[in-house]
Each structure stands twice: as structure tokens, then as C-alpha cells.
Amino acid sequence: MLRRNTYLLAGAAIMALTGSAFAEDQTLAIVVKGLDNPFFEQINLGCQKWNNENASSGYKCFYTGPASSADEVGEVQIVEDLLNRPDVKAIAISPSNAPLMAKLLREKAPKIPVMTIDADLSAADADLRKTYLGTDNYQMGVKFAEHLKMLKPDGGTVCLQLGNVAADNINQRAAGTRDTLSGQKGIERLNGEGGWTEIAGCPVFTNDQADLANQQMADTFTANPDLTAFMLIGGWAQFAPQAYAQVTDQVMDKLKAKSMVIVAGDTLPPQMEALKAGRSHVQVGQRPFEMGYRAPTVMIEMLDGKTVDPIIYTGLDECTQENADSCIGG
């Protein structure tokens, strides 16, 4: 009788363990361009806040990406691995190389809902995702240009600093900037249109690397002492605040006099400190925390068969030296 009871207890324990395995949360994955970029850490914080507030939902938000934002192939491999995992029920991707990511999605034809976050696929590949959640990147470029025109109404020379060559979000910002500065649609390079000319050697591409971004700025300042404006389409150089301070030290007299101006993307704390210290003149900020916080809910809506808008824009914050203490919203 004792042995029989022991078997029954052991069987019950096995059933309990098996049941707990079946009860494990299902995964809602967020894949970013690189874990080395502090902008994406804000997306992670939003993801973790959602987890804390939805512990009994049956889902968990899982944040991942390659170690380096320059590893475009690594990001694609991570997405492929996640699509092969049975616990992953939906995925949100910030594609570093939009065409390469689209190629994978076409080949895999995933059965689970796919969305993009922060960066979208190209318009030609938009059918591969259910929705895009993030910044209106073209409009962000428009804001860059509007502020630059206010600072320098007579135009001048400009260098645009971009990220990865094939990143759709960065290319959209550049398009919005050039269209607005020139007053024309579809300008690929400014050559006097609207009074603005892109200098030789620009745009420069950082591959999302802060050290390279700062070196590019330093080299550009040295080679072009009469440059009117430097535009960071993303905040890369400012993500390494000590190096950025050293680079801007060499042109601080010009920045203070506004004979040269810096307009930059994003409003993370080190960037706002740089703005207040006069090391930039405008910061146009995105809302990455909101992206990370909202993404799991959007993925669940897709899983539940609810209608989701094909584009869900998060807001922009326009920060200047004059409003730096009050400009950041939602």
C-alpha cells in the first residue's frame, strides 16, 4: 500500500511538472538592430514594463538583437531562429538592412504575425508585415530641416550623417530633410536647391557606431572650417558623450556664435545634456520607450484577429536650447 501511494505521489508530481511546462508563457519577440545602441535599451525598458504589468497574461515580451548594430546578417539570423521556435507567437523587428530582412521573410513566409518597430521595411515589401509601430521618419526629417532653416534662413553648406546604408528609417529622414531644405520632392543630393549644398565627402555613414560617428564629425570639422551645419540624422555620436564633448570642443566658439549649427536626432539624457551645454542647437526626439511598451499589446491584437492599422505612429519631441527643460512629451 505504501509503495502504491509512493507511485501515485510520484505520478502526481510528474503531472504537475508537465502541466507547468505547458503553462509557460508564450513569447512576443522584439528584435532590434543592436544591443550596443542605448536608444534600443529604451525599447527594452518599455518591453519590461509591459511584462511587469501583465505577468498573468500568458505572454512575455522578449527583447533581443545582435551585439553590434553593424551586424546586419546577425540580426537576420536571430529573426530566422526565432521564427523556428514554437513558443514565439509573434515578432516585432527593427530591420537594420531592410532588403535583406525582406528577403528572409519572403523565403520563410512565417505563419505567425510579423510587425516592424522603429524601422520599417521598404514600401515595396510592406506586405510582409502587418503593421509598423514607430516614428514617422519622413516627418522627422522635415522637422530637422524646418529647424535648420529657422537657424540659417540664408542656407549654406551642410553635411548629413546617416546610419546603415540600407536602413529605411534613416533614408526616410534624409529624404524628408532634403525635400524640405530644397523645396522640391525627390532630391537625392542638395546642390544649391533652396540655398543648401551638401559638401564633398558627405553624407557619411556611421553603421550605427558611436566611435566612427565622432571620428567622422572631427574629420569633417577639420576639413571644412566654413561649414554651416552638421546634421546627425540619428544620435550616434552623442551616444558616446565624452567623445562627443571632445569633438565639439574644437568648434565650441562657432557653436556659441551659431556660425555653425548642429541639428541632431533623439533626446536621450546624455543628448539633452549636450543640448543644454550648447553642444547642439536642436534635438528632434523619438519615443522608443513607448514603442517597446506598446508593441506586445499590438502583437496580441494581431494574434486575436483584431484589425490593426498598417501604420501606428509614435510622437516626436522638438527640443531647442530655449525649451530644453520642457520639450519632452509622452
Average pLDDT for runs of 10 along the chain of length 330: 42 41 80 96 98 97 96 98 98 97 97 97 96 98 98 98 94 98 96 98 96 98 98 97 98 98 97 98 97 98 97 97 89
For position 23, what pLDDT does the model report?
55
For position 279, what pLDDT does the model report?
98
Give the tens place of pLDDT for each residue, 65-114: 999 999 999 999 999 999 999 999 999 999 999 999 999 999 999 999 99
Query: pTM for the full model?
Result: 0.88
For position 24, what pLDDT does the model report?
83
| Strand residues in 78-198 grouped as ranges (E) | 88-93, 114-117, 132-135, 156-162, 196-198
For position 15, what pLDDT does the model report?
41
For position 5, what pLDDT does the model report?
45
User: What cell numbers appear for 201 in the block?
Assistant: 565627402
Please answer whether residues 168 and 121 qualify as being in contact, where contact means their C-beta atoms are separated by less than 8 angstroms: yes
Structural domains of the chain ordered from first start: 2-136+288-316 (3.40.50.2300), 137-285 (3.40.50.2300)
Q: Which helix (H) or strand (E) holds 219?
A: helix 210-223
